[in-house]
Structure 1
Amino acid sequence: MRGRTVGSGWAHALGETALTILLPDADPLIREDFPAHVSVLFPFLHRDRIDPSVRRRLGELMRTHEPFGLTFSEFGRYPGVLYLDPWPADPVRALTKSVVEAWPECAPYRGIFGEDGLQPHLTLANSLGPEAAPAVYDALEAALAPLLPLTVTVRHVTLVTWDGTAWRDTERFALGTGSPVQGP
């Protein structure tokens, strides 16, 4: 994810990967040290398992999903987390379902939040922890609300890899009938 470190509190293993929808237009909304993104699947396979056949299969799978639009206008909260709900969320869920069906050993969020993981979301802030005073996120919502709604078109999914200090864009996979986009 463009090489930024993550202060989210999640423990990451060297070589861990994820499939994400990067949203550079939403970067100004983020109050953490990571780029705006919606996770398709975290974690995915360890980088040592991602060979040409996995890349080919991912590319084929992503091409079965057409590009789609997402609108972000509604805030939501988990304990210690402020996020935006994408609408519609079904295309993101469909991507996640397809990847998990192809690689059933990859449970969303390591299975911590159940079989389906969390609902798709764009995390805005999460470093304050579950004990954060609601007033802090109330103020952040008030500051960000004038920037909404934000509408984006999703044309590819990015494979990112944890290098021990930061998430790095590894490869992009085009949605729809286009050919895979190589490189970060």
Structure 2
Amino acid sequence: MTVDRPATGADNQRSGSGWPDRPGDTALTIRVPEAHPLVRTATPAHITVLYPFVPVTRIATGVGRELAELLSRHDAFELTFARFRRYPGVLYLDPQPHQPLAALTADVRRRWPEAVPYRGIFGDEGLDPHLTVANDEGPDTWESAYDALEAELTPRLPLTATVREVLLIVWDGTAWCDHAAFPLRPTPPPGTATAQTPPPPRAVHEHSAARSSRYKGAAGGRP
């Protein structure tokens, strides 16, 4: 996947001019709780699969069922976070391997080509898979600030995480809210030829103890 680097990472996020989110917009994302202690943004630690996806009004008209079937053909997988990288104004963890993440995005885009990553702001291909750690520094401070933050956090690496589901989140006008979880295909136990059939997508009850996070509509509050 080719990457067009954002020219003004933090400024773009703060101004909101490049992110015209509308109530009912959706995104597909992977939550990474193992990395949350390292994150300095207003959002839970996550990797974006596709933002924006289709309007939430289409989810109940067959898109949700098709999405569940599509994602269930992808195996659950493990990611390792061993190093930091940067876009201008953004410090992020580099998830390895990229391939299963890129495959998820490519498969969804083939089915719904109208869903262009980041609304085309970073080119038709969007950005490489990444987990944002910090993005609140301006052009005069981000290099020195992220040098210090990277030095502080590097001893906590590497991290590993197993990805078993993709979340659909919805913008309600003030925050990104969990809406549904779509399981990937479970990894078969040793000696088993095939994996079990995954369960259907489940609604996410935002106010439950396990799923209480909201993506706030503040600086850094993007999927």
Check whether TM > 0.5: yes
Q: Which of 129, 138, 142 lines up with 1:129 in the alignment?
A: 138
Residue segments in structure 1 that go unaligned for 5+ positions in a row? 1-6
What is the TM-score of this pair, normalised by structure 1?
A: 0.92
Residue segments in structure 2 that go unaligned for 5+ positions in a row? 1-11, 186-196, 205-223
Residues paired across the two proteins, number: 178
Q: Which amino acid aligns with 2:95?
A: P
How many angstroms apart in 2 are the aligned matches of 1:45 and 1:131?
Answer: 37
Given the alignment of the two structures, is residue 118 of structure 1 paired with residue 127 of structure 2, yes or no?
Answer: yes
Given the alignment of the two structures, is residue 178 of structure 1 paired with residue 187 of structure 2, yes or no?
Answer: no
- Number of the residue aligned with 1:154: 163
Q: Which has the larger radius of gyration?
A: 2
What is the TM-score of this pair, normalised by structure 2?
A: 0.76
Q: Which of 23, 30, 33 lines up with 1:21 in the alignment?
A: 30
In the TM superposition, 1:1-184 aligns within 5 A as: 8-9=13-14, 10=16, 11=19, 12-176=21-185, 177-184=197-204
How many angstroms apart in 1 are the aligned matches of 2:140 and 2:173?
Answer: 28
How many angstroms apart in 1 are the aligned matches of 2:125 and 2:81?
Answer: 21
Deviation at 1:116, TM superposition (A): 1.4
How many angstroms apart in 2 are the aligned matches of 1:133 and 1:168?
Answer: 29
Higher mean C-alpha displacement, 7-16 vs 114-123: 7-16
Contact 1:81 1:130 survives alignment (8 Å): no
* Runs of 4+ residues deviating >6 angstroms: none
Deviation at 1:8, TM superposition (A): 4.1
Q: Which amino acid aligns with 1:180?
A: P
RMSD: 1.5
Percent identity for Structure 1 against Structure 2: 53
Contact 1:79 1:129 survives alignment (8 Å): no
